[in-house]
Structure 1
Amino acid sequence: MLHLRLIIPSDRTAEVVGLVEGTVGATHVAVVPGAARDPEGGDLVLCDVAREAGDGLLARLRELGIDDCGSIAVENIDLSLSRRADRAEEEAPGEAADAVLWEQLAGATHEESTLSVTYIAFMALATMIAACGVVLDNAILIVGAMAVGPEFGPLAGISTGLVQRSSRLVWRSALALVAGFALAMLVTVGFSEVMVALGLFDTGVLDAARPNTGFIYQPDAFSFVVAVLAGIAGTLSLTSAKSGALVGVAISVTTVPAAANAAVAFSFQEYRQAWGSTEQLLLNLGGIVLAGTLTLVVQKVLWVRFLAGRRARRTAR
């Protein structure tokens, strides 16, 4: 279930309450007249709505311009002990796990794809950790670096922007992705030079056999297959609010380690490995974006068809 908190000008309250009460899957409607100070004298409207009915209600509220004249806030309800809530979920179309809240998805990916100091810091730290894993041929460090990297946010933002036809989100996410990797690799090149000067990195290590990390600079068909599967899993975890699955996605795809190996190889003038790692990086990024976009398209089409079929069955009755 979702909990909606609406702040509405008092002259629009009756219209909004009528809309909420007429939405299948909505319940627990409460109105607190005059509770708001901004807008002055505005009313506070509270309600619960089944997740599968939430996207439609949010879209209609935005069509009424409530996001311009007031406020729409949405929260996930972890536990709701109510027969009315149970009945609302039963009446709502489809299953909650299959419903996509496009407004929530756009907001989440917008936040995660912002080029900020914190985002760049995580990218640089993840890449430097991976660089240590590359030099030491340590798979544990590689996995740790993959979990730290925040690159899935911009990748999901590109997919969401493409499906929603939001060029602004696409460009914002692409900028964060490209700039983040570029700056992280640049920092890692400097980090490698410092580690060599301190005698902690051996410049000949990249020529040695690396059974645990050699795959990073040797892309093959499986690299793309894994990227596609991880892209699907990551997108489903976002749209179904199962964020825990993102950890598994993060440690499945060789993005940050490939960037780290490219930076270290470039620093050691091992240009063959640098190019192989870059190819691995681009292959994985492309596979994730492609899979994420197609997953969102399929979810959107299937949901629209499901709702159309449900309306047709109701009309036939």
Structure 2
Amino acid sequence: MRLVQVFVPSGDLELVLETAEETGVDYAVSEQTSRGEFEALVSVPVPPAAVEPFLSKLRDAGLDEESYTVVTAAETIVSSRTDELTREFDGTRISREELQSRAADLAPAASTYFVLLVVSTAIATAGLLLNSAATIIGAMVVAPLMGPALTASVGVVVDDDALATRGVVLQVAGLGVAVATAAVIGWALRGTVLLPPGFDITTVPEISERTTPSVLALFLALGSGVAGVVSLVRDVGSVLVGVAIAVALVPPAATAGLGIAWGHPTVILTAGTLVLVNLLSINLTALILLWLSGYRPHRTERVDHAYGRLRSRVVVLLAAIAVLSLVLGGVTYGTYQAAAVEHDVQAELEAMSDDPAFEDLSFREGNVDYEPIDVYTGGQPSVIVFVERPPGEQEPPDFADTVRERLEAATGTELEVAVELVDTQRSE
């Protein structure tokens, strides 16, 4: 339930009471004895779904917009009369005015926002370098990215230019700060005793996950956008939703920053693409869902203008996502091809171990060096094969060529194969 309190300007009391009667809600009137600008305070308990219709009728009736109308959440109302009101005003979403107010509150002051973002990025960067998923998730609790992501969309839908601009600026500047923070931390740590000698960020699984993104990564961003809007318009807990949105943005942004620190263009490109696709996808889903939820500017003549802006932004976002998704699709295909070669090599080596033609030889995969980028640059896969043999045994003639031919036939790809023979003796 909500408690709507209207500070009634002098001469407008009858207008407010008639509107309450017309809406079918209960009210109580308290005489005001302040400076004389207001003659009464009208308190109206209503379900959340009734707030917007009541305020719209007050506005249409001509209530002075310079007056105060305060909407507060009522923790508990003890009355059987609320049941009838709830049945009459059925719905789960909050009013446009509450939505606008909550969105503004979700975007904190710039100083607070950037401090929390720097702290969150620093923790996430440490988690990436340590390959610690728990540390990365913990950093997301601190990240304040949910507010700006939703604020921009709310501003467009309700035709609040200041709110929309603030949301966009905070998002863009915030991600820039996140990338820069990770780059500075990476540069400061590189070559120190805190990281092993010759440390390569591309070998860290948590970082590699952000540098080989799949098209399926879009589901996290799209789902986060949907969850963010639902949590906002239905006034439910948003902490976990904020974590989901931050997970889609901060770790890839930090990965891009580490790519800058280590001078890896591929890391910068793939992680940067992922963070941009996620950012645009969250904004796209938020815009569409807020409009479909029925939110509009309170001035009827501004609805068409808001719809035009919404439509143009959706078109731009879709086009940008489509272009960036080509990179994701390319990475997905390259990753699949590289994994397919490794799988086929492993399967063929197992088959060769069971082949009587090789008698007591046992084949083991040592290493397959084939990256997704090699699929497009024409790089040749390099395979190291370990072969165990009993002491004193001799390998067949042209053994390395035979192994290479078998593996090439299995993978359908030209390979560079190195065979390392190991005399092996096992205890009984």
Q: Which category describes the TM-score, using the shorter chain as reference length?
A: 0.7 to 0.9
1:208 aligned partner:
203
> Tell me, what secondary structure is at the counterpart of 1:42?
strand
What is the count of residue pairs matched by the alignment?
293
Deviation at residue 67 of structure 1 after TM alignment: 6.2
Counterparts of residues 79-118 of structure 1 (less than 5 Å): 79-92=76-89, 94-95=90-91, 97=92, 99-113=93-107, 116-118=110-112
Given the two structures, how large is their TM-score scaled by the length of structure 1?
0.85
CA distance 1:194–1:156, change in 2 (3 Å) = same
1:229 aligns with 2:223: yes
CA distance 1:258–1:44, change in 2 (3 Å) = same
Letter in 2 for 1:247: L
Distance 1:139 1:261 in 2: 14
Distance 1:140 1:57 in 2: 47
Q: CA RMSD in A?
A: 2.2
Bigger relative CO (Cα 8 Å, ≥ 6 apart): 1
Given that 2:186 and 2:261 are in contact with CA atoms closer than 8 Å, whether structure 1 keeps it comes out as: yes
1:55 aligns with 2:52: yes
Distance 1:88 1:265 in 2: 58
Deviation at residue 213 of structure 1 after TM alignment: 4.4
Deviation at residue 261 of structure 1 after TM alignment: 1.0
1:311 aligned partner:
none
CA distance 1:3–1:45, change in 2 (3 Å) = same
Q: Which has the higher helix share?
A: 1
Distance 1:86 1:35 in 2: 34
Range 220-229 or range 181-190, more displaced: 181-190
Deviation at residue 197 of structure 1 after TM alignment: 6.6
Query: Runs of 4 or more off by more than 6 Å in structure 1?
Result: none
Counterparts of residues 179-198 of structure 1 (less than 5 Å): 179-196=173-190
Counterpart pick for 2:72 among 66, 72, 75: 75
Deviations 1:237-281 (A, max 9, x none): 10000124x414523642011111111221121221122111110
1:240 aligned partner:
234
Given that 2:118 and 2:177 are in contact with CA atoms closer than 8 Å, whether structure 1 keeps it comes out as: yes
Given that 1:124 and 1:185 are in contact with CA atoms closer than 8 Å, whether structure 2 keeps it comes out as: no
Range 165-174 or range 199-208, more displaced: 199-208
Deviation at residue 284 of structure 1 after TM alignment: 0.7
> Tell me, what secondary structure is at the counterpart of 1:144?
helix
Distance 2:192 2:21 in 1: 69
Among the aligned pairs, what percent are the same residue? 24
Distance 1:67 1:185 in 2: 47
> Tell me, what secondary structure is at the counterpart of 1:251?
helix
Deviation at residue 113 of structure 1 after TM alignment: 3.0
2:4 aligned partner:
4
2:266 aligned partner:
272
2:294 aligned partner:
300
Distance 1:274 1:69 in 2: 51
